[in-house]
Amino acid sequence: MKTTPDFSVLPKYYHHYVMLVQNESLIDALEQSGKQLVSLLSSVPEEMGEYRYEAGKWSVKELICHMMDAERIFAYRALRFARNDSTNLPGFEENDYASEANAHARTLHQLLDEAQRLRQTTIDLFTSFTTDMLQRKGTANKNLVSVINIGYIIAGHETHHRNVLKERYLKS
């Protein structure tokens, strides 16, 4: 099924993420961003896991956990809205989540395996949605957003952070 994001029901904050993957169908965007993350992380040595490119920034492992936390939260929102749940959903504080992710108790390999399994379940979820469900909308963090756009946000958010990993963490 050919899909495209709907910028009319996309909070401005997420435009950058979605623009990174807007030329692909939703499932292709999710599949490709996931494969590219696996490819990148497969080459990162374990000793880089706790590396921070600057004081006060997340480590590589914390960044990976952040991507997974965000994907889980966005997928949950998509599920609720696709099922016609009209409950206004709260936001989340990413820095609070990052500090509680227990990132450094796991290896990069463990995080990579988890990220792969998570992405497959996200793809399964979005594949299960009908065209009608993808167009449904709901409010999260006081912003109206459509289910299809949430899928694009997931793929674009990961693409954004994969670019950050390449440019700021792994540039040498």
Q: What is the DSSP letter of 129?
A: -
Which residues span the domain enclosing 130? 7-169
What's the confidence (pLDDT) of residue 172? 64
Closest C-alpha among 82, 64, 68 to residue 150: 82
What's the confidence (pLDDT) of residue 1? 59
Whether residue 5 is predicted with pLDDT greater than 80 in this model: the reply is yes
In a 13 Å sphere around the CA of 114, the CA atoms on its Cβ side amount to 16
pLDDT band at residue 2 using 50, 70 and 90 as cut-offs: low
Which position has the token pair 């992405």? 119
Looking at the 3D structure of the chain, how many domains does it have? Answer: 1
Please name every residue paired with 146 in a beta bridge, in sequence order, or none if there are none: 137
22-48 pLDDT, tens digit each:
999 999 999 999 999 999 999 999 999
Domain assignment of residue 26, yes or no: yes
CB distance 105 to 64 below 8 Å:
no
44-100 pLDDT, tens digit each:
999 999 999 999 999 999 999 999 999 999 999 999 999 999 999 999 999 999 999
Q: How far apart are the first and last CA of the chain?
A: 40
Name the average pLDDT for the chain.
96
Please name every residue paired with 145 in a beta bridge, in sequence order, or none if there are none: 138
CATH code of 116's domain: 1.20.120.450
Closest C-alpha among 14, 116, 15, 7 to residue 74: 14
Backbone angles phi, psi at 113, to 5 degrees: -60, -45
Q: What is the pTM of this model?
A: 0.96
Domain assignment of residue 99, yes or no: yes
The CA distance from 170 to 60, in Å, is 10
Whether residue 112 is predicted with pLDDT greater than 90 in this model: the reply is yes
Domain assignment of residue 2, yes or no: no
CB distance 150 to 5 below 8 Å:
no
Closest C-alpha among 171, 162, 156, 164 to residue 13: 156
Domain assignment of residue 1, yes or no: no
DSSP H helical ranges for 11-59: 15-19, 26-42
What's the confidence (pLDDT) of residue 171? 85
Residue range 93-120: mean pLDDT, rounded? 96
Q: Which residues lie closer than 8 Å to 107 by C-beta, 6 or more apart?
A: 46, 49
Domain assignment of residue 124, yes or no: yes
What's the confidence (pLDDT) of residue 142? 96
Angle, CA of 135, 77 and 59, to the nearest 5°? 125
